[in-house]
Amino acid sequence: MPFDLGPLATIWMAVAIFGAAYVRGYAGFGFAALIVSSASLVTSPLYFVPVVVLADVVLTAQQARGIWAEIAWRRVLTLLGGALIGVPLGVLLLTGLGIDMLRAVISLFVLAMCGLLYFGWHLSKPQGDKAHFGTGVISGLANGAAVGGLPVAVFFSAQTLPATTFRATVIAYFTMLDIWTLPNFWAAGLISRDTLIATVVSLPLMSLGVWLGGKRFRSSNPENFRRFAILLLATLAGVGLMKSVI
């Protein structure tokens, strides 16, 4: 098995990958954070960070046809400008942490973002380019651990964007963010043969999950499921935090 995972750990990650892909297809965010948080319970989360970044690029091609018209491109490009600065710094910080410290940092960050999402942090007015650029820097830093989507999800949720625009814009931004993150991972030696094997093996599960989640998004109110996804992510992060200190 890739990364020397045992049978039970492999089954756990297969379920986590499918569930995370379903959440991505439905809500547009949480994919990477769910997988990395799940991985932290059975192995080093560092192994699956480049896997989810590679897979995210592929999965967007599956969704591009249905989201193109809803993407807010000015927001995407301004966020990306900040991420160009944040990603190299985030990767540098990531590679300098031990496994328990890495688990704790990721878990605390995810819990903080989940809290803001769940309790509905709100901005009183629409935000301009400076705020988007600053959010992009934070997102880039966080994407060193493949959780760079959460700050953007929090930022957009606080501005009460329409659900279709929110979903399409974050998916488009995540793709560009990941394309920039990959060469930084490669330079840091984080992409291995096992990374490529795990990505290829996972893609069928991911594709099925995204397709099913996308179908569900078109037929129901996404807000209730987003709350469920946030609680699930917070639970995984909380368990990961406990594992890092026990």
pLDDT tens for residues 130-157? 999 999 999 999 988 888 888 888 898 8
Give the pLDDT score at 243. Answer: 66
Give the pLDDT score at 84. Answer: 96
Tokens 């091609």 belong to: 61
Q: Which stretches of the chain drop beneath a pLDDT of 70?
A: 1, 28-29, 61-66, 216-226, 228, 243-246
What CA–CA distance (Å, rounded) separates 23 from 212?
A: 9
Domain limits, the chain: 2-245
What pTM was computed for the model?
0.82
> 244, 107 in Cβ contact below 8 A?
yes
Residue 237: name the closest of 53, 35, 37 by CA: 37
DSSP code of residue 71 = -
Both structure tokens of 70 = 């809803």
Q: How many CA atoms lie within 13 A of 122 on its CB side?
A: 6
What CA–CA distance (Å, rounded) separates 159 from 77?
A: 18
Give the pLDDT score at 218. Answer: 61
* Averaged confidence pLDDT in the chain: 84
Give the pLDDT score at 224. Answer: 65
User: Cα angle at 120 between 167 and 151, to 5 degrees?
Assistant: 55
Tokens 């290829």 belong to: 200
- Using alpha carbons, list the distances in angstroms from residue 157 to 18, 49, 146, 188: 25, 25, 20, 33
Give the pLDDT score at 220. Answer: 60
Residues 168-183 have pLDDT tens digits of: 888 889 889 989 999 9
Give the pLDDT score at 223. Answer: 64
Residues 3-24 have pLDDT tens digits of: 888 899 999 999 999 988 888 7
> 146, 31 in Cβ contact below 8 A?
no
Give the pLDDT score at 153. Answer: 84
> 135, 84 in Cβ contact below 8 A?
no
